[in-house]
Structure 1
């Protein structure tokens, strides 16, 4: 197999594709287990197959090797499963750019100690000698994580999602005005329709997977035949928005609304048959027994109600005196229920004797979903801040396991029981759906450096250190040579928005903000990890900080649109620079310390004369908020990134500075830019999960790395090849730019 890449390169195009497609099945059918195992750990084959065919075809090759009749020893099969999972987690990156195979495998498999994986990673580099980004640490989601797939196609917030009981299909609705049907086995979009009312509030799939039911913000319900493109049929409506819907069987459905009512629908003749009343506030959730005879409802009136659907009447009402109820589930036989509330508690209910059995403080934010298994031995709950927990219900409620979804605002989620484990599908902040398969033994192996988004990064010009600032209210100092944490700085009491380092690497500057009394700029001694006794207070949120090359002056900006100039040694304010009409998110200083450039939500950049402390120029051209700016070491160019998804290069040396050219390639907001010390290369990060390396002389992207969530920050070391990127998940990616001329 060693010369496979060479042989493939010599084949005619059609023969090459045919060989890549058929070789694994040929080896499996011939029971050549050793050769098949060798093929699926050969990087040349993996790269060639995803470059010529779909990544899913490569994933299915591993299923061939994992068949019981294929005689591969268990340890090697375990390694094949890990590689298969790593490829499955990388599908979106590979679909975007097949040359990312090496970076994705390294970022997911570096922590595993096995001969086959070590050998695979040793050869993991693009066949073509082009620049690429090599992960230095295992910073991407690992194959042992609960995450199975990330489904991308929505372009706005996902507001509703469900899946079939067998976990084969999912249906999602979004603010982008579409509903999408997904095949969860292969992670593809099967079908989609437009919702004329745009915002979907609830979705359901029939037990046979053939019908979809959805509700919109105009309180109407529509029935969709999932097997064809016929326009959905409107059943009827409530007087207020619908929060939950469920199929009772192939021919009946039920809906629950903010108007406090539930409605029963006959799907055969497409008519409303009953309206159930009794709740005095919005109904937030419903669940039905497997035979479709009972429904349980939860409401903001702090009650849950059990209903007989044959008689269309209330059976019992149970009161939760402590909080409004936001989630509900019922056992398949209707004997037990479990509820979740706004205050984070869950309660177990006996629905035969109509009594509360137990209460457990599960979450520190509202419960948005809950599920109980059929024999009442286990339950799972999820909170809106992205924590999923599993419980043992054999005696009292006791927590067994906890997982972090890495999204702090779940707006759509569905959890179901599957065999010995659970399936969950939920939205993430990047408009994607995350599909999980997990059980009590499932672990999230990757330890994240920060527990919340990494919003800012800085690298010292000397000293081989980097500083990260996060919304988890901490700063961390890092050793650039090995990616190891040196210390954690914890004196901020609010979210950290911005950091920078003095050129000598001895001092760090940080700014915090967002609704706390800690709206300060702090100076840190990076040798001792102690805060220097200079704290600059703000009435408004601190957005950006910068330091002049001599380390004597600092600049800071805030939501009031002003830029302040400070004496760094004593914290005295020297000047307030006024000119922007909205928040200033970006600051940079020229190498000689004479000028600064600021970027604002008012769509402009301003060049400031720091000697005379006046505005010199205003740069216009972006069609969105300016989030980041950097200046080449010679002060010739400024590079800005914006919410308009573009990066602009500005010539500052002209008599009237103006835009030189625009770099395009990101498809969401630009979050950060940074420059090499020679000014030849720029790096950018974006809410589209990508980091790009740009050749500024040629005006094009030369390398790309995709993270698992939005990338909010980046920095590049003086060597011009060591790069750090910070994720919304709290991860840090330590990367090396390879094969650069």
Structure 2
């Protein structure tokens, strides 16, 4: 990431530069290759939690023909699973072609995106399909019905659809904004906005990397956040850009839909902002947090909002009688929190310290750290979660307990697959998986 070019250069963002060093992609052609296979509450922080990335940047390998030979292998554990079947490492999808930047789980399928510009599709932890864009590493993926939306480093959002004849074939069916809308707006002088000195651009397009995507299924909307400091609102029915909001003073790293027309944005400028859609326009409701640390991840659950920051902390807010109030801080990482996910009562965070932390939120709002998942050799950049189907016989989980499969994508070029549960030990103590296994340590 280059400071001062589009994405800004805030103090919090500077400490993450080693994790995001990439060459800016110009707005290339639309030709894409398709392959069938192959006032805010306080934020608390401590200086001891600030640790910069200790690994030197690895050059990105661009694979010109990624589908001629699959660069993925499913590395199953060579050891027996732990006796406790409710937790542990299930396997590792090892990538040889690029760092993993984005994940999305939908039903039986897992989509993985990387800086090689490829999107891989997995089914049952086996390679199922794949497709590729000619420009822009894949920074975000969301699935809406039969369409897959991908956000890219080159500022574009691409739309893909599964073939009705062959489920392994994915075809690009559009780009946001569409060429038609772009041409129509380009002839109207009022459609241009000033983005920097001596440069104007159309308001309906991102002119810097699309860093995050979030779906509002209730209202049929897609939100995109960008390093250009704006978030945009797209109508899913016709892919029209309805609104562009200049939301922050630095790059937007996270956007999360909260329901009821409420949207949250987190930025490298150190703020978390809450927006509400009224009469078709988004208005700023309040600033939840202002800090010197970059806000790097957001996730919204039932009555709670979590924000991860570059100092390794996770702040959270809860809906109470007086509205959204600061509830506390989760301290589990030594370096920047880069991604977050929720599953039932669980909140999961991935970090530049190469670990994944799992907390369980109780009815009283208290959080118990259930697990620290270790095994990655690089920063954990993205997470995805899906509920594990119950087995017909046995299954390990107790009655009424839910088990989840957690996917963690890392800059070590791998995706690890974990099983976690909401179970809390009755007698306290620590449960450890065998020491020769990448450990999943439960703390009560």
The TM-score range, normalised by the shorter chain, is 0.5 to 0.7
C-alpha contact (below 8 Å) 2:206/2:228 kept by paired residues: no
Tell me which of 342, 353, 365 is aligned to 1:688. 353
Tell me which of 233, 243, 261 is aligned to 1:594. 261
Does residue 737 in structure 1 map to residue 424 in structure 2? no
Does residue 499 in structure 1 map to residue 141 in structure 2? yes
After superposition, give the CA deviation of every residue in 1:419-447 in whole Å (9 maximum; x if it has no partner).
Answer: xxxxxxxxxxxxxxxxxxxxxxxxxxxxx
After superposition, give the CA deviation of every residue in 1:319-348 in whole Å (9 maximum; x if it has no partner).
Answer: xxxxxxxxxxxxxxxxxxxxxxxxxxxxxx
After superposition, give the CA deviation of every residue in 1:153-195 in whole Å (9 maximum; x if it has no partner).
Answer: xxxxxxxxxxxxxxxxxxxxxxxxxxxxxxxxxxxxxxxxxxx
2:89 — aligned with what? 135
TM-score, structure 1 length as denominator?
0.38
C-alpha contact (below 8 Å) 2:75/2:91 kept by paired residues: no
1:630 — aligned with what? 299
Higher Cα Rg, which structure? 1
Does residue 607 in structure 1 map to residue 290 in structure 2? no
Q: After superposition, where does 1:297-376 map in structure 2 within 5 Å? A: none
Q: How far, CA to CA, are the matches of 1:593 and 1:523 in structure 2?
A: 26
Does residue 468 in structure 1 map to residue 112 in structure 2? yes
Q: How far, CA to CA, are the matches of 1:456 and 1:649 in structure 2?
A: 23
**SS across alignment from 1:137:** strand
Structure 1 or 2: more helix by fraction: 1
1:525 — aligned with what? 161
Superposition deviation, residue 512 in structure 1:
0.8
1:725 — aligned with what? 408
Does residue 546 in structure 1 map to residue 210 in structure 2? no
Q: How far, CA to CA, are the matches of 2:75 and 2:417 in structure 1?
A: 15
Runs of at least 5 residues in structure 2 that lack an aligned partner in the other structure: 1-72, 178-204, 389-402, 425-444
Q: How many equivalent residue pairs?
A: 300
Q: How far, CA to CA, are the matches of 2:315 and 2:83 in structure 1?
A: 31
TM-score, structure 2 length as denominator?
0.63
Tell me which of 285, 288, 312 is aligned to 1:616. 285
Q: How far, CA to CA, are the matches of 1:478 and 1:109 in structure 2?
A: 14
Q: How far, CA to CA, are the matches of 2:422 and 2:321 in structure 1?
A: 34
Q: After superposition, where does 1:625-704 map in structure 2 within 5 Å? A: 625-632=294-301, 634=302, 636-653=303-320, 655-676=322-343, 678=344, 680-697=345-362, 698-704=366-372
Superposition deviation, residue 563 in structure 1:
1.0
Q: How far, CA to CA, are the matches of 1:603 and 1:611 in structure 2?
A: 26
Superposition deviation, residue 630 in structure 1:
0.8
Q: How far, CA to CA, are the matches of 1:487 and 1:725 in structure 2?
A: 20
Does residue 709 in structure 1 map to residue 350 in structure 2? no
Superposition deviation, residue 485 in structure 1:
2.0
Superposition deviation, residue 475 in structure 1:
1.3
Higher RCO (CA 8 Å, separation ≥ 6 residues): 2
Q: 1:701 to 1:739 in 2, by over 3 A?
A: closer
Q: How far, CA to CA, are the matches of 2:150 and 2:120 in structure 1?
A: 11
Runs of at least 5 residues in structure 1 that lack an aligned partner in the other structure: 1-106, 113-120, 140-447
C-alpha contact (below 8 Å) 2:141/2:150 kept by paired residues: yes
**SS across alignment from 2:120:** strand
Superposition deviation, residue 492 in structure 1:
4.3
Superposition deviation, residue 137 in structure 1:
1.9
Q: How far, CA to CA, are the matches of 1:730 and 1:669 in structure 2?
A: 19
C-alpha contact (below 8 Å) 1:492/1:512 kept by paired residues: no
Does residue 574 in structure 1 map to residue 248 in structure 2? no
C-alpha contact (below 8 Å) 1:605/1:626 kept by paired residues: yes
Superposition deviation, residue 623 in structure 1:
4.1
Q: 1:534 to 1:692 in 2, by over 3 A?
A: same
Q: How far, CA to CA, are the matches of 1:123 and 1:574 in structure 2?
A: 50
Does residue 124 in structure 1 map to residue 82 in structure 2? yes
Q: 1:722 to 1:111 in 2, by over 3 A?
A: closer
**Cα RMSD between the aligned structures?**
2.5
Q: How far, CA to CA, are the matches of 2:134 and 2:74 in structure 1?
A: 32
Comparing 684-693 and 713-722, the one that deviates more: 713-722
Q: How far, CA to CA, are the matches of 1:108 and 1:510 in structure 2?
A: 24
1:336 — aligned with what? none
2:150 — aligned with what? 510
Q: How far, CA to CA, are the matches of 2:147 and 2:161 in structure 1?
A: 5
Q: How far, CA to CA, are the matches of 2:140 and 2:74 in structure 1?
A: 29
